[in-house]
Amino acid sequence: NERLLNLEQYRALDNGIPIKVILTDKVTKGIDVIDDLKQFERN
């Protein structure tokens, strides 16, 4: 599922690990690579 649907959350679900989802009105940005994390830490 993870590769087929391109969602890493399916890795947990396929292995029986529950996940939680939170809805928010705030704009968020994902941290997917180390450069994303570095930029987040600077701001």
Burial class (CB in 10 A: 0-12, 13-18, 19+), 35: exposed
pLDDT of residue 2: 72
pLDDT of residue 6: 80
The domain total for the chain is 1
More confident residue, 16 or 2: 16
The range of the structural domain enclosing residue 29 comes to 2-42
Global confidence as pTM = 0.51
Please report, to the nearest 10 degrees, the dihedral formed by the alpha carbons of residues 31, 37, 26, 21 taken in order.
40
Both tokens of 38, joined, read 């570095």
User: What span, in angstroms and rounded, lies between the C-alpha atoms of 27 and 17?
Assistant: 27
pLDDT band at 5 (very low <50, low <70, confident <90, very high): confident
At residue 36's C-alpha, the angle toward residues 33 and 8, to 5°, is: 45
Q: What is the mean pLDDT of residues 3-14?
A: 86
pLDDT band at 33 (very low <50, low <70, confident <90, very high): very high
